[in-house]
Structures are given as C-alpha cells and as structure tokens.
Amino acid sequence: MAKLFIFEGVPGSGKTTSAKWLATRLGENAKLYLEGDPQHPADYESIACLTEKQFDEVEQECPRVRGMAIQKGERYYISYGSLYEKDPELFERLKPFDVYELPVEEYIEVALEKWKEFVQQAKSGTHEYILECCYLQNPFTFLLAKHNCSKEVIFNYLNMVTQVIMELDPVIVYFEQDNIAENLEKIRQERPVEWFDFITWYYTGQEYGKERGLSGVSGVLYFLEERKELEKEFLHEASARSIMINNTNADWERIHHHIAAELKLK
C-alpha cells in the first residue's frame, strides 16, 4: 500500500476536509500534515534559509540565533514563525530570508533536498503520510505566480520531485471543479478578508500578474484557471498515480467512498 497520499486542487476544493477524513480512516498509523504546519516534513513554513555570510551578519546583531539554527551543508535554517509575537524585531529580520524568497534555482535545490530528507525518514518507519498543497499548489504559486516561470521549468522541477517520492508509492488525489468563480465566491464569504487580499496580491501583483495586467477577482480567477489546467496536464503525464475527482457538487459521502474504493481501504 502507498505510504504517501497528497491532496491537491484549487483553494476551497476540499483538500483539508479530505486529508483529515483519510487520516481518520487510516487510523493511528497515519501522520497528517496540513498546509501551514511549521513541522511539515516535506515543505517549509516560515523557515529562513541563510548562507554562512548572511547568518554571520544576523548573528552579530542577534547572537541568540545561533541556538535556533540548524546547519545543513553551507546553509542555515531557522524557524521564525513563532517569533511574530515573542520577538517581532527578530521575526522581521529573518523574514526576508524565507525559503520562498530565494531565487528560483536556489529554491529548487533547497526544496528537493527537503523532499529527499522526508523520503528517507518515511522509508525508515511504518507510518503512512498524508500531505496537502506541497506537491503542486506551493510550487505553482511560487514558480508561476511569483516568478512567471515557463511550463518547462515548472514541469521539470515537479518531475524531479516525483522521482524522489516514487519510493513511497505515492497517490495524488486531485480535486477539480467546473465553476471556480462560484467556489471562490463561496470561500471568500467563509474566510477572513485578509486571506483574499493576500492571494489577490500574490497571484496578480507579482511577475505573472504584472505581465498580463491582472487585478482583482478577475485576475485571481485567470490565474486559478490556468493553474488548474497546467496541474491537470502535468498529472496526466506524471509517473505518480493520480486520482482525479470532480467535486463540483460537493457530495463528500460519494467522493470519499470513491477514494476509499480507489485506495482499496477496508
């Protein structure tokens, strides 16, 4: 049986709901990591990545970072998310070094190393891992929305990740919907205004959106539609097994029954 299950799809498509459902079905052997988890084994959440020179400069100002840093090769990693309230000054000092602020080439290198570490950890144990967003959503938002990378660059990176995780016999569960606009409006009513303001800026206010002159709700929808088509195209070509589910009607009992059957769960 697969040791890795990844849930993907556009915002509000049911990734978190279904990831939690699967964790319950798999029982105590399952390890669930949702988007934003600072302990995520395959992704970075509020993690600063510094070169030795950058680390030395920060340490001169804030000597306490030495005890917070984990050194891997020539890079230093510091989890800084918890500092937002405890030490705002240090939080702001480390924020510019976030992994997702790295240049594309360095991000790809660092991200692949993280996936390799995770696979080695997962192989050595007996747990089944359930993740969301980290396989497609995060790379697409970073590489496409932030840097406007070509499809070739994005697919090449995703293929490298896929090769790394194949040892875990992964299954990708992908949710798609017929009407993204309708779904987006629904989740806008459910989530804080700040959430939509942030994704609007991220999707339309950076390289991708600037080149296309995007803004507002229409710009967000434009990005999500393209992202969905590219993600589906990649999954059709990828070597990892994927289960494509149209959940426009949100019939979760039927959907979860279908997933259970596909995964041959008892």
Amino acid residing at 202: Y
Q: Are residues 83 and 212 in the same domain?
A: no
Q: Are the C-beta atoms of residues 165 and 119 closer than 8 Å to each other? A: yes
Q: What is the mean pLDDT of residues 30-53?
A: 94
Q: What is the pLDDT of residue 38?
A: 87
List the beta bridge partners of residue 7: 132, 173
Q: Are residues 9 and 137 in the same domain?
A: yes
Q: What is the pLDDT of residue 1?
A: 54
The CATH number given to whatever domain includes residue 20 is 3.40.50.300
Which domain-ending residue is among 97, 114, 130? 97
Q: Are residues 220 and 90 in the same domain?
A: no
Q: Are residues 14 and 142 in the same domain?
A: yes
pLDDT surpasses 70 at 103: yes
Q: Are residues 107 and 89 in the same domain?
A: no
Q: How confident is the model at residue 2 (pLDDT cuts 50, 70, 90)?
A: low
Q: What is the pLDDT of residue 140?
A: 95
Residue range 223-242, pLDDT digits in tens: 999 999 999 999 999 999 99
Backbone conformation region of residue 49, classed left if phi is above 0, alpha if psi is from -120 to 50, else beta: beta
Q: Are residues 241 and 155 in the same domain?
A: yes
Helix 252-262 / helix 15-26 crossing angle, nearest 10 deg: 50
Torsion angle, alpha carbons of 29, 263, 164, 94, to 10: -60
Residue 256: count of CB within 10 angstroms of its CB: 18
Cα(30)–Cα(33) distance, integer angstroms: 10
Pairing of strands 30-33, 70-72: unpaired
The angle at the Cα of 188, spanning 185 to 189, to the nearest 5 degrees, equals: 95
Q: Are residues 62 and 128 in the same domain?
A: no
List the beta bridge partners of residue 131: 6, 33
Q: How many domains are there within the chain?
A: 2
Q: Are residues 65 and 182 in the same domain?
A: no
Cα(3)–Cα(168) distance, integer angstroms: 5
Q: What is the pLDDT of residue 256?
A: 94
Pairing of strands 70-72, 75-79: antiparallel
pLDDT surpasses 90 at 13: no
Q: Are residues 207 and 249 in the same domain?
A: yes
The whole domain housing 116 covers: 4-43+102-262
Helices (H), the chain: 15-26, 52-61, 83-86, 88-94, 104-123, 137-140, 151-165, 180-190, 193-204, 207-212, 216-237, 252-262
Which domain-ending residue is among 33, 62, 97? 97
Q: Are residues 246 and 258 in the same domain?
A: yes
Q: Are the C-beta atoms of residues 36 and 143 closer than 8 Å to each other? A: no
Q: What is the pLDDT of residue 266?
A: 76
| Mean pLDDT, the chain, integer | 94
Q: Are residues 22 and 34 in the same domain?
A: yes
Nearest to 14 by CA among 251, 265, 258, 266: 251
**How buried is 243 (Cβ within 10 angstroms: 0-12 exposed, 13-18 middle, 19+ buried)?**
middle
Reported pTM = 0.94
